[in-house]
Structure 1
Amino acid sequence: MRRLFSAAAVATVLLLSLAGCSNDPPNPNPRASEPLATVPVDLPRYMGRWYIIANIPYFAERDMVASRAEWQLRPDGKIDDSYYARKKSFDAPEKHYQFLDTPVPGKEGGEWSVQIFWPVHVAQLTLYVDPDYRYTILGYPGKNLGWIFSREPDMSDDTYRSMLARLDAMGYDTSRFRRVPQHPDQLGKAGFASPGDKN
């Protein structure tokens, strides 16, 4: 029961954060007002493990390291969405949060309705996936949240810059993205989020 209450509390704060982040800085990108467009997704191919390489830090993922998502397509067409991460330290116990996603009809698998907890849902947009399904970019309609995922926990600097260039072209403020440490030696490195950072 305590765990259920904790998960509900986290989800409630997440919802409030998604609904209206009035503390978000103005987006200076000249394309900031252009709507985001999703891309078609081959859902069976899209399933599996994805490492979170970078994101716009916000309270629910701030201080997390070694974070990843695991997606599994269910017989009913919905998706079991598991999030794993460690808080502040690679020695910390792994946390796990479970969500249920539903592909939105007519969006060719590119938009999911994510059930944070019943009956609350938020939109998750697939903005890019490479032809080999090695990298993907996820977004949120207001451009205040965004994620870069990879099948592997490592991404070259050149590939990372190419992902940021795509996000810039979509109207994101790419200066807000921070890389997520996937290895202990990445803690404190330039461009990586550090546990305890407020931005």
Structure 2
Amino acid sequence: MKLKKEVIATSALLGVASIAALTVLAQDEPLQTVSYVELDKYLGKWYEIAAFPQSFQRGCSHTFAEYSKNDDGSVSVKNTCIKEGKIKTVDGKATVTDKKTNAKLEVQFFWPFKGKYWIIGLAPDYSYALVGHPNRKYLWILGRKPIMDSQTYNHLVTLAANKGFDVRKLVKTNQH
């Protein structure tokens, strides 16, 4: 029994060490996005499955975003969460900064501040997305449903680690 516990502990330690090593190696590489995003398919509701904690989201649960196209071609962004028992929303605007791929956007919620929103992982059927910032300090795992199966979630965590994100910082979002 003791040997079995030692094997499990060693395996877990090696797994964490492997993720940390992948993170360090990939941090120096430029962040790669997906090759192409069909914006019309990307529009709609996305639930936050997990994210790096950010001060602007502190205390939020049941977090989701809704994207729709504006007349000028930009994307309307409406983020919603429950905070202190109340529904909180913030509206923003996103513009595509890489027309070749549509995978790099800039989002603005408060003038003059803008943030990079890069789509770095995307399901072929647009059922999940992995979004990050090239400085690797922001990361979101998004899904079309509030709950994601563990296989898909683990796939996205591994993808993020391979792209240089410290996935030990990921926190699952309460969607219950």
Q: TM-score, normalised by structure 1?
A: 0.74
Q: Which amino acid aligns with 1:121?
A: K
**Which residue pairs with 1:162 in the alignment?**
155
Listed one character per residue, the Cα deviations across residues 121-144 of structure 1 (whole Å, up to 9, x for unaligned) are 221101011101000000011101
What is the RMSD of the two structures over their aligned residues, measured on CA atoms? 1.5
Whole-angstrom CA distance in 2 between matches of 1:57 and 1:154: 19
Counterpart contact for 2:63–2:81, Cα < 8 Å: yes
Match of 2:148, SS state, is coil
| 1:70-85 correspondence runs (5 A) | 70-85=66-81
Counterpart contact for 1:135–1:151, Cα < 8 Å: yes
Listed one character per residue, the Cα deviations across residues 97-121 of structure 1 (whole Å, up to 9, x for unaligned) are 0001111143421011112323332
* Identity among equivalent pairs (%): 29
Counterpart contact for 1:103–1:110, Cα < 8 Å: yes
Q: Which amino acid aligns with 1:31?
A: A
Counterpart contact for 2:23–2:163, Cα < 8 Å: no
Deviation at 1:35, TM superposition (A): 1.3
Whole-angstrom CA distance in 2 between matches of 1:133 and 1:139: 16
| 1:1-199 correspondence runs (5 A) | 29-39=24-34, 40-88=36-84, 92-183=85-176
Counterpart contact for 2:98–2:105, Cα < 8 Å: no
Counterpart contact for 2:23–2:161, Cα < 8 Å: no
Counterpart contact for 2:39–2:102, Cα < 8 Å: yes
Count residues in correspondence.
154
Q: Which amino acid aligns with 2:160?
A: L
Q: TM-score, normalised by structure 2?
A: 0.83
Unpaired runs of 5+ in structure 2?
A: 1-21
Whole-angstrom CA distance in 2 between matches of 1:108 and 1:165: 23
Whole-angstrom CA distance in 2 between matches of 1:165 and 1:178: 15
Between Structure 1 and Structure 2, whose CA radius of gyration is higher? 2
Deviation at 1:61, TM superposition (A): 1.2
Q: Which amino acid aligns with 2:86?
A: P
Match of 2:82, SS state, is strand
Whole-angstrom CA distance in 2 between matches of 1:105 and 1:31: 22
Counterpart contact for 1:38–1:107, Cα < 8 Å: no
